[in-house]
Chains A and B, each alone.
Chain A
Amino acid sequence: MNTMMAEILELQHVSAGYDGEMVLKDVSFSISELDFIGVIGPNGGGKTTLVKLILGLIKPLQGNIVFHDPGERNLIGYLPQVSQTDKKFPITVMEVILSGLMSVKQGFRAYHRSDRARALEILELMGISHLQKKSIGDLSGGQMQRVYLGRAIIANPKLLILDEPNTFVDNKFEHDLYELLGELNKTMAILMVSHDVGTITSIVKTIACVNRNLHYHRSNIITQSQLAAYNCPIQLITHGEVPHTVLGEHIHIHTHD
């Protein structure tokens, strides 16, 4: 199914790093429309570096990142790690959601009435309509994540990138989030970074193991021995090799090739 879809972007033999230290080496990988890729790997393995490369926040030391349609402005929606923004910044929920439209506004002009209507739809979808006038400092971790997710999707991006969306949130939110992501995946590709291997394998279609190199696993069912072969030293929920350590039991979204 995925092979039929048009490619959004491609990483060609990309290497990247900071301050003279190589973090990612010779990574080749592509993302197509309606993909749902879970990015897993040990801390310091290069998951966030991969995300920053795709976002254009850092430049590759070697190799190229080719966008299929580089002129498009609503290419990427991005949900950053929670800790990244200033929670005391004087900005309201409505303003944050609306700011997601800045990416598609010609000359970054002021918002239209239609923009506000769209923002209200997103607030509704996120279940946070009652919070629209609150400032972000008054929100809980889960509410904050909903706001940031709203900002990421308001412009209908082709690719939604989520960096550790399940940190600092409760189980209820995590459940809602995964349901919502399944729904969003009908219209956009999703790349989701997570340390929580167990839960993401249940919702993604494919898995990218990142640890200096990238191994692309074209399925959401992965075993400990496959992880070992990919040089991706992370623990699945069940330890060792018994019984297949497959995490397919709680799959909500079934993929058929």
Chain B
Amino acid sequence: MIDSIPDLLQYSFFTNSLLAALLASITCGIAGTYIVARRMVFISGGITHASFGGIGIAWFLGLNPVAGAAVFSILSAIGIEFVASRSNIREDSAIGILWSLGMALGIIFIFLTPGYAPNLMSYLFGSILTVGPADLWLMAALALFLALFFTGFYHLIIFIAFDEEYARVHKAPVQLFKYLLISLVALTIVLNIRVVGIILVISFLTIPQSTANLFTNNFKTIIYLSILIGIIGSVTGLMVSYFWNIPSGATIIFAFVLIFGIAKVVQYLKFRSDIIRQLKD
């Protein structure tokens, strides 16, 4: 039994999972801020669950499940964004259909596949301790691309996300950026499924951002703060899950909710003391 943190760091599985937590915090911090700002949480939930269909089919065909999930999630992301731009279709109902269709396909194909499906649970709930070098390289590439893309096109991204109609009036590449960004969101979701799982990945994309949003309304600051909160929450969750031997994905999310709760209390106390100070003046 390993019982101290320095000992733990000698094991590659543990350093790998720490790196995974760091990269997940960066990718989810950036993509999640876009999701929260544009109120796309439900859309992202739909994309996440639709990707399970891709995992199931890839499994059945003997292909790489992550690749299957990537194809499925990008296609469903583009599909949802397309449906959303057509005013005569009810967007939330369409998402609901896609959401359950993906899960149904995933379950059907996994059961059709001969033999036992040992890793199914790890896709649903994540298994950060089994993340390997290949996963890490993919996550690092995505983190780098997201960072460069959001730095290079920061103002244009906000311009379009804030007031799409105004951006269209001024001939900004609205459609291109919307499709590009939703595809990046889909990729972020897929590559983080290994870390926290399909069921919990949406919270990695929303809880740190909502926590950051309690203290700032600046898009850039929300990105930085949610990356920081992501790192604190996921490393704490990882440690607790390891020492208490409970599932890591759930522990990480629980840590996020705990941080959100503390932040909410801090915000309340700050507002209260502000008011008291103003009353004294």
Contact with A along B53-90 (1 / 0, CB 8 A): 00000000000000000000000000000000000100
Tell me the minimal C-beta distance from B53 to chain A in angstroms. 31
Find out whether the CB atom of B222 lies under 8 angstroms from the CB atom of A108: no
A residues 18-47 near B (Cβ < 8 Å) are 19
With contact pairs A85-B162, A102-B167 given, residues A91 and B219 touching in the complex (Cβ less than 8 Å) = yes
Most buried by A among B159, B165, B166, B217: B166
Task: Of the listed stretches A61-69, A72-80, A169-177, name the one at the interface; the rest are far from the partner chain.
Answer: A72-80
Find out whether the CB atom of A80 lies under 8 angstroms from the CB atom of B165: yes
Find out whether the CB atom of B217 lies under 8 angstroms from the CB atom of A137: yes
Tell me the minimal C-beta distance from A74 to chain B in angstroms. 9
Find out whether the CB atom of B165 lies under 8 angstroms from the CB atom of A84: yes
Find out whether the CB atom of A111 lies under 8 angstroms from the CB atom of B155: yes
Q: How far is the CA of A78 from the CA of B166 in the complex (A)?
A: 8
With contact pairs A56-B169, A99-B155, A102-B155 given, residues A135 and B217 touching in the complex (Cβ less than 8 Å) = yes
Contacts of A76 in B (CB 8 A): 169
Contacts of B172 in A (CB 8 A): 102, 108
Find out whether the CB atom of B218 lies under 8 angstroms from the CB atom of A84: no
Find out whether the CB atom of A19 lies under 8 angstroms from the CB atom of B88: yes
With contact pairs A19-B88, A102-B170 given, residues A135 and B218 touching in the complex (Cβ less than 8 Å) = yes
A residues 92-130 near B (Cβ < 8 Å) are 92, 95-96, 98-99, 102-103, 108, 110-111
Contact with A along B145-171 (1 / 0, CB 8 A): 000000001111011011101111111
B37 located at the interface, meaning its Cβ lies under 8 Å from any Cβ of chain A in the complex: yes
Find out whether the CB atom of A98 lies under 8 angstroms from the CB atom of B88: no
A57 located at the interface, meaning its Cβ lies under 8 Å from any Cβ of chain B in the complex: yes
Q: How far is the CA of A98 from the CA of B162 in the complex (A)?
A: 13
Nearest B-chain residue to A78, judged by Cβ: B169
B277 located at the interface, meaning its Cβ lies under 8 Å from any Cβ of chain A in the complex: no
Total interface residues on B, CB under 8 Å, equals 28
Q: How far is the CA of A102 from the CA of B156 in the complex (A)?
A: 8
Find out whether the CB atom of A90 lies under 8 angstroms from the CB atom of B213: yes
Q: How many residue pairs at the A-B interface have CB separations less than 8 Å? A: 72
Nearest B-chain residue to A152, judged by Cβ: B166
Contacts of B159 in A (CB 8 A): 99, 102, 108
Find out whether the CB atom of B155 lies under 8 angstroms from the CB atom of A89: no
A55 located at the interface, meaning its Cβ lies under 8 Å from any Cβ of chain B in the complex: yes
Find out whether the CB atom of A96 lies under 8 angstroms from the CB atom of B162: yes
Contacts of B154 in A (CB 8 A): 110
Find out whether the CB atom of A103 lies under 8 angstroms from the CB atom of B162: no
Which of A80, A86, A90, A95 is in CB contact (< 8 Å) with B166? A80
With contact pairs A102-B159, A111-B155 given, residues A90 and B222 touching in the complex (Cβ less than 8 Å) = yes
Contacts of A151 in B (CB 8 A): 166
Find out whether the CB atom of B37 lies under 8 angstroms from the CB atom of A89: yes
Q: How far is the CA of A252 from the CA of B165 in the complex (A)?
A: 33
Q: How far is the CA of A102 from the CA of B222 in the complex (A)?
A: 23
B39 located at the interface, meaning its Cβ lies under 8 Å from any Cβ of chain A in the complex: yes
Q: How far is the CA of A95 from the CA of B157 in the complex (A)?
A: 12
The 4 closest A-B pairs by CB, nearest first: A135-B217, A103-B170, A108-B156, A90-B217
Selected A-B contacts with CB under 8 Å, 10 pairs: A19-B88, A78-B169, A90-B37, A90-B217, A91-B158, A91-B162, A96-B162, A99-B159, A99-B166, A108-B159
Instruction: Show the binding face of B for A, using Cβ within 8 Å.
Output: 33, 37, 39, 88, 153-156, 158-159, 161-163, 165-173, 213, 216-219, 222
* Beyond A108-B153, A110-B154, 10 additional pairs, beta carbon < 8 A: A80-B163, A85-B162, A89-B37, A89-B161, A90-B217, A91-B158, A91-B219, A95-B155, A99-B159, A99-B162
